[in-house]
Structure 1
Amino acid sequence: MTTTATHLRTIALHWTDLHEAAGQPAQIGAFGLGLRGYLAHLEDADREEYLRAHRAWRHSQDRDPLQLGERPIPVRLHILDTMRAVEAALVQCADDIAHAAQRTPIAAPTARRTATHPYLTQRDADIAAADRARRAQLAHADLVDPRRWKYTGRRTAPHAALWLLARVERAPGPCRRITEAEEKRIGTIAAGAADRVERALDIAAQQRTLEQPCACGGRIDVHGGEGRQPLAHCTGCGRIWTEQGVAA
């Protein structure tokens, strides 16, 4: 049985593969950085603006295919759609789980108003100052704890997947133990996201039954995925089809 942890690891491990599969434009003009590095650093709004600009640029570069010179590599938009959908789902899930389960950062200490509440001795003042410094250091460390989910900054699919994985595996951090309902929600979203990633990369074995039956009346099952050529098989008469036609 595939676990939630496996689904989340699949997303994190194959995210770079999705960037690769999306394709990169030619090293020309403002788009010379390529999609892989560029998209990795853009927020959703900026990424959409970039894609619109890139499509406009490609349209301006359209020409007769017989002309010489380097032509841009097409961007596979269905891969980008998968990335956007997966990232949005995982980040939203992490936001919701963090809102419910993550502890509020430790408050920084405030200075004592010595004008109205003076210290009796310099020693008392020194002890209080050292205690404030220690508590300020603890508050800062808690605020920037890398195990803490943040609502700004690095909000990517792999980061969200790994943070949710830590919650599922009960890793230490500034969070309470997630509930059964929260774990179930993470599992549902992780399974759907991993399925989309595997389909986009064609790395999962798939089987589907066609609505249209064989001439013999039997059911036709189609097998594919994992980089293999699709193959259809009739469970009634045993006939097999490939992309080249009837095999047997």
Structure 2
Amino acid sequence: MTTTATHLRTIALHWTDLREALGEPAQLGAFGLGLRGYLARLDAADAEQIEYERHQAAHLRTLERDPIQLGTRPVPIRLHILDTMRTVEAALVQCADDIAHAAQRAPITVPAARKADYRTLREARIAAAERTRQQQLAHADRVDPRRWRWTGTRTAPHAALWLLARIERAPGPCRRITEQEEQRIGVVAASAADRVERALDIAAQRRTLSAPCPGCGGPVDVHGGEGRAPLAHCTGCGRVWSEGGVIAA
């Protein structure tokens, strides 16, 4: 059984892969929505490529006619990767916000300086040293890198690692999270990791098609993922299909 910690590590480790995949050509060997969906995506991808090349050629002609438009043109991005990154980041950051609001203690405050009459110079020096110590402790607590912040760095991998520290009961300016809070993190982490794995096609998947086998009427399972082209297999008669047609009967 995959644990919440594994899900959070998956997100943190593969976030760079998502960024790199954002501008890469579409991977046509992904699991998709089944074999028929896979075949439909092949045709759609060809049509999209033709349409993109047509628009790109028109755009280049426009630039040739307009010499003031110089510089690097934006690279087309893969929208489903971008949507995955936005959805995952929003969910993880919101989860970290909620957990921190409930479990993270406020920074240490320094008592206001007050006028005092000291009987000796030694007493005055001791009091000054104590104020300095309190100020240093308060500053260290305020800038503690283990503290979740509502401004600044609020990325998916940062949120994943901060939530991982809460799951693993790591030391920091937080109380021990409750069972309900741990369950909340688990639900968010599992959904986010699943989105990341599906976007990168790094998880093995199996799905049963709604349409039965045309030969025997039995259920048809589609296997794919992990970068492999999907295969459909009838569990009744044993027939196997690939994107190229029947490969075993």
Common topology (TM > 0.5): yes
Q: 1:71 to 1:221 in 2, by over 3 A?
A: farther
Off by >6 Å, runs of 4+ in structure 1: none
* TM-score, L = length of structure 2: 0.79
Deviation for aligned residue 1:203: 0.3
* Aligned 1:1-248 pairs, distance under 5 A: 1-23=1-23, 62-64=56-58, 73-112=75-114, 114=115, 117-215=116-214, 216-248=216-248
Deviation for aligned residue 1:109: 2.8
SS in 2 for 1:188: helix
Percent identity (aligned): 76
Q: 1:242 to 1:66 in 2, by over 3 A?
A: farther
Q: 1:66 to 1:100 in 2, by over 3 A?
A: closer
| Distance in 1 of aligned mates of 2:226 and 2:119 | 76
Aligned Cα RMSD in Å?
2.2
Deviation for aligned residue 1:71: 7.6
Give the aligned partner of residue 55 of structure 1: none
Q: Deviations over 1:86-105 (max 9, x none)?
A: 00000000000001111111
SS in 2 for 1:133: helix
| Distance in 2 of aligned mates of 1:139 and 1:73 | 47
Deviation for aligned residue 1:120: 3.0
Q: Write the letter of the residue equivalent to 1:63.
A: A
Deviation for aligned residue 1:62: 3.7
| Distance in 2 of aligned mates of 1:175 and 1:72 | 43
Q: 1:211 to 1:131 in 2, by over 3 A?
A: same
Q: 1:203, 1:226 within 8 Å by CA — same for their partners in 2?
A: yes
| Distance in 1 of aligned mates of 2:233 and 2:113 | 77
| Distance in 2 of aligned mates of 1:92 and 1:111 | 38
Unaligned 5+ runs, structure 1: 25-57
> How many residues were matched structurally?
210
Instruction: Tell me which of the two structures has the higher relative contact order, counting C-alpha pairs closer than 8 angstroms and 6 or more residues apart.
Output: 2
SS in 2 for 1:152: coil
Deviation for aligned residue 1:72: 5.6
| Distance in 2 of aligned mates of 1:191 and 1:154 | 23
Deviation for aligned residue 1:241: 0.6
| Distance in 2 of aligned mates of 1:191 and 1:15 | 15
* TM-score, L = length of structure 1: 0.80
SS in 1 for 2:171: coil
Q: 1:65 to 1:245 in 2, by over 3 A?
A: farther
| Distance in 2 of aligned mates of 1:106 and 1:240 | 66
| Distance in 2 of aligned mates of 1:226 and 1:170 | 32
Q: 1:123 to 1:90 in 2, by over 3 A?
A: same
